[in-house]
Structure formats: structure tokens, C-alpha cells
Structure 1
């Protein structure tokens, strides 16, 4: 079966092979200075696959871009990076995000920083939104999403340098119709005991009848959403990722774990005494409780689950 080369604009690993054949790639100049990496174009699907999936004739990338951009005049992609005192890593993170595709903006929401995070981000080419005060956990996501102009929003962190080749699949998934493209990361489930945050992610997906997602969650980065998703889950809910996650699934959006990025291994270990409680874990657990409360508020006391044959009124 002959594959049709379809232009894309995403960074991909060169020299990699897919099972069943080698993906055809073409290296293009990125227009950057000598010594920088070039963009790599990849044919994502064949003509036959496109027809089979969509039930209509295949479109080329120019037609796709026209449809994506016809309602909103802005970049295709907005990458949102909250940052607080991350001057050592922010420039490298911004540069990787800038390589994902040509039609992109990188927004760094610098809040509560006392170092050179903002200037390093600007020097690397980011659009910087700055607050003197700390916005709190995930507050930067909400602020960045409200300011973003792109039709796809990709979220990542300032302290983890994820290669552009590992970020591009999330953007590609949204282009192909996924509303929320999650990191296919389950967390360290083999540890004994399992971390309570890992348990909470699995539990919430089970309550949402999406146990197929495992521990994939909007709490973890990287993940991408469509602008349509932002309208349904509301920008404010991004401050509480499990709540945004629940709203997306119960709102009928297409939520998928699309690509595995081992953020647990990439993330720098932050030192703390074993006897001390982890305040961040406590925040994330409370976020999951808020998601469950929203489910019971909107779907009844049992969150939409039946009570079967119990007649509670007769036992009073």
C-alpha cells in the first residue's frame, strides 16, 4: 500500500522506525541560525487510513490548517508553562517547546519569582506574563490559558525539559480529533505502598467509568487540549486539574492517553525529610476530593451510580 506524504510541522525523532515499516521523513530548514535543530516533517496517516477514520476523502495539510484557523486568528499552538524560580531550566524548556511546530507561541507565567526566570524566558523567545505574587498551585495554568491565542493548548512544567519530539504527539492527537490528550503515565504502581496521589488518579478514573485511562490525568504533564475543551470545562477549572479532568469526561469530550513520557524519572527529586508530610501531595488529594464533590453535586449523592435494590426510606 503506497503512503501519501502529508505535510506536518512537528518535531519528530529522526531515524526511528515503526513496526511494519519505516516512516518517511523529510528534513527542512527551520530558518534558525546555524547549529540549531531543523524541523522534521512526517506523514501521519495514509490516504486509505484517513478515509477509513473520517469516512470522507483525505484532505491535505493546507485544507486542514484552513479549517483549524478559520474561526480564531492566532497561532495553531499555545504552550503554557507556569514558572517560579526556575532560572536554571526555563530557557532549555522554552527552546524545546519552540521546536514543536512553527506556528506556535510559548507563554511562561512567571509568578512569585525572586530570580531571573522572567528574563531567561524572554531571552529564549517566550511571551512572559509576570506576577510579583505566587499564584498558587496550578494558578499559572489558568492565567496562561486565559491569555493563550492558540487553538491547541499544551501544558508542561518549567523544571522538566521534555524534548520536542516527546511533546509533538500530544499536539498531533488533538489535530486528529482528540479533545484532551493525556500523558500515558500511570505512576509507580509497583511500589509498596503505592503513593496516595497515584491511587487517587486511578480511583477518579474508575469513578468516571474510565478505568482504561489507568493513572493518566490532567494533573500530570505534558497534556494538550483543544479550544473547544476550554469552553466546556471552563478556564477556572484548570486551577484544579482533577476537576477539569472530570468535567471533560462527563462532558462527553474525547479524552485519551496518547503518549508515554516518564515524567517521574525526568523530574528532579526534591529533598525533604521522611518524617515530614508532603504539602503538594495533600493539595493534589484535596483537588481529587473537589472533583468527586462536583460529581455528586451535578449527578446526585452517588455521583450517577445506582443504589440497586436498597430502599433507604424503609430503614429509617
Structure 2
């Protein structure tokens, strides 16, 4: 990264007051700032130096961590750095600089770590099948997760080998189909982390965007959804799945959620939210969202760009998933109607049914 520095007008070498029309020296603003071996200058330089200093102190003490412990220790120190420096220290550019400085201070290769100011433990549950993508899991490995649990179902040896080659990943591998979304419950039972991110193991999302979801959950939300509104376009162009998700949210009294849902990956739950909803509910995502809404959980949406899809998408499989998702949303609406009445949150302003006598459907 290159940075420039402004010079002071009238300084030495400016030519001011000299006779003979001496040519003025170039402005200092046009000269590049030297960044040194770190590659960081300007606003990111203090964060890099802080990371380097923290790691160097660990290295000198003989307690230098390695492997995944190094990433977690880096994130602990980054969290303290943010607490000391306030909100100005928390930008993604400063985070990258701090992480690189920490790696340099430990004499380790830079891994592209993405720090997140967390005072609570976080884990990731990855749902994958035969088209499992190593790139999708590699993005998660850049984040400060205590565990990355991959639930790999109905997949052959090639998919298993792709994921097995990755470091620091726990794989739950079954050749049988667990059933749609049952892997969410399986993965959630394997971790006690206070924040759990659910991700698609067949579509890569940049770690920087996942970090935003984690930070929002850490700030006090029980459920943070990926906001897909920006990529849906005008309503006339929405697919059936998006329209059904929006209709369910509207019917449950939360139109601000738009077409966003736990049926869409990625998203983050707090441990408290998971326990209140119940882990078995995760196997039917619309039912989990209905429960979260009825329990009054704190739900937020944060934009996430369209994930990079894996190779060899199966149109027939996608159609089957869409049909199943539609049925799941209808099931969620029926459950809400049994609990709250047939009209849910929608008042009938067109007719006074009581005047007709008897009970009308």
C-alpha cells in the first residue's frame, strides 16, 4: 500500500525568497511515504505496530502460540486493542493490519486472518454435500472460531478428501442423507460456543462479510440474518422462494425482515437464542424463525453479497429444495395460526364478522 505525505509550504528547499528564479523542489505530497517491510503506512501503521508489539512480547516470553491457538490469541489481543482505542480502532483495514503485525511478531506466515472484537467464544457449523467447496471452509478458517464443524452428508470420498485436507476442521461424515437441514441440529449439538455461525459449505462467502454478522451478534442480537434484499431487485423479478419468505415475515408481523430468513445461509445465532428456540427446531428453518419471532428474540439483518456458488449445480436438486422450503414455510404459518388465530397479525378492516352471527372461518 502506498501513502503520501503533505509538505509544509515555505520550508527549506521551497525556493521562496531566492534570487535568479530558482526552481522549486517538488511538493512533498507527491512523494510516496516509505512503508518499510511491513507494507503498512498511514492510518493502518499504528494497528500493525500494536499487533507486532503484542506478538513480540509473547515470543520473547517463550509463550508464543502456534496453529489455531495463534489466531485465537491474536483475536484476544485485538479485542483488548479495540477496547483501549474505542470504535476508531475497529475498522476492517486496521484489523488486517493488526493481524499481519501479530503474525510477523510471531515469525509466522501471514494467513489473511480477519479479527473480530469478541469477548465470547464463536464456532461455525458448515453444511455440505457432494459439491463441498474447500474455498468456502477456507474463508471460515480466517476467522477466530474455536471450532469449525463440517456436517458432510450423502457425499463420496472426493468431497471428504477435499475437506479432510484442510487443517483444524472437525468433519461429521455420513454417506446417508440426514434429511434437509437436519445437519443444522447435528452441528449445533457439537459445540457450546456462545455464538454459532451457520454457513453453506458449497458456496464461498468472504470472511470479511461473515465478520460483520459475528460482530452484530456479539453486540447483543440473538439472530443475525443475511440481508439479501439488495440482490433481489424489483418485486416482479423475485423468485417464488423469496416471495414466500417475505409473505411469512409479513404475516408474522415483521415486514421489516423482508425476504430474509434462517432458510438462507449464512446467519448467526446466539447460544441464548438457540436454547430458547430449541435445537430440534433448527431442522425446519421457517419453524425456527417463527419461534424466534414469537419469543421476541432480537433479530437483525446485515447485507451479504451473493455467495460464490460451487461447481456443478444440480437444477433438479435445487427445484426439490425449493419445493421442500415452500412446504416448510406453510408448516410454519399453520403453526402460527393455531397459536394466534387464522388471521395472525392481520386485522380484518373490510367486514365486522361478529355482526353476521356465529363463527366464520
TM-score, structure 1 normalization: 0.74
CA contact (8 A) 1:83 1:110 kept: yes
Taking the aligned partners of 2:188 and 2:332, their CA distance within structure 1 comes to 20
Secondary structure of 2:246's counterpart equals helix
Contact 2:92 2:208 in 1 (8 A): no
Residue 36 (structure 2) aligns with: none
Say which of 141, 149, 166 aligns to 1:98.
141
Which blocks of at least 5 consecutive residues in structure 2 are unaligned? 1-46, 48-75, 80-87
1:152 matched to 2:195? The reply is: yes
Larger-Rg structure: 2
Aligned partners of 1:315 and 1:157: how far apart in 2?
47
SS at match of 2:353: coil
Correspondence 1:283 to 2:324? yes
Q: 4+ residue runs of structure 1 moved beyond 6 angstroms? A: none
Size of the aligned set, in residue pairs, is: 265
DSSP 3-state at the match of 1:217: coil
Distance 2:305 2:108 in 1: 29
Q: CA deviation at 1:193?
A: 5.2
Please state how far the C-alpha of 1:104 moved relative to its aligned partner. Answer: 2.1
Residue aligned with 1:156, SS: strand
Rounded to whole Å, the distance in 2 between the matches of 1:302 and 1:77 is 39
Structure 1 residue 24: Cα displacement: 4.7
Answer yes or no: is the 8 Å Cα contact 2:337–2:344 preserved in 1. yes
CA contact (8 A) 2:203 2:309 kept: yes
Q: Does 1:84 align with 2:129?
A: yes
Is the CA contact (8 Å cut-off) linking 1:183 and 1:258 kept in structure 2?
A: yes
Alpha-carbon distance in structure 1 between the residues aligned to 2:315 and 2:175 = 26
RMSD of aligned residue pairs (Cα, Å): 3.0
| Higher RCO (Cα < 8 Å, 6 or more apart) | 1
- Report whether the alignment pairs 1:111 with 2:111: no
Q: Residue 216 of structure 1 corresponds to which residue in structure 2?
A: 260
Aligned pairs for 1:198-217 within 5 A: 198-217=242-261
Distance 2:286 2:205 in 1: 22
1:60-108 Cα shifts (integer Å, max 9, x gaps): x7xxx3xx4xxxxxxx111111111135x1x22222112111x421000
How do 1:213-252 residues align onto structure 2 when only pairs under 5 Å count? 213-252=257-296
Q: Which has the higher helix share?
A: 2
Secondary structure, aligned partner of 1:106: strand
Equivalent position to 1:139, from 163, 177, 182 = 182
Question: Structure 2 vs 1, CA of residues 32 and 282 (structure 1 numbering), >3 Å: closer, same or farther?
Answer: farther
The 1:249–1:164 alpha-carbon spacing in structure 2 relative to 1, beyond 3 Å, is: same
| Equivalent residue for 1:256, pick from 295, 300, 310 | 300
Note the alpha carbon deviations across 1:6-62, whole angstroms, 9 max, x for none: 9646xxxxxxxx9xx9975442334695252244567xxxxxxxxxxxxxxxxxx7x
Q: TM-score, structure 2 length as denominator?
A: 0.66
Cα contact 2:202–2:309 (8 A) shared by 1? yes
* Structure 1 Cα separation of the partners of residues 318 and 260 of structure 2: 24
Q: Report the alpha carbon displacement of residue 239 of structure 1 after superposing the two structures with TM.
A: 1.2
Does the aligned pair in 1 maintain the 2:135–2:204 contact within 8 Å? yes
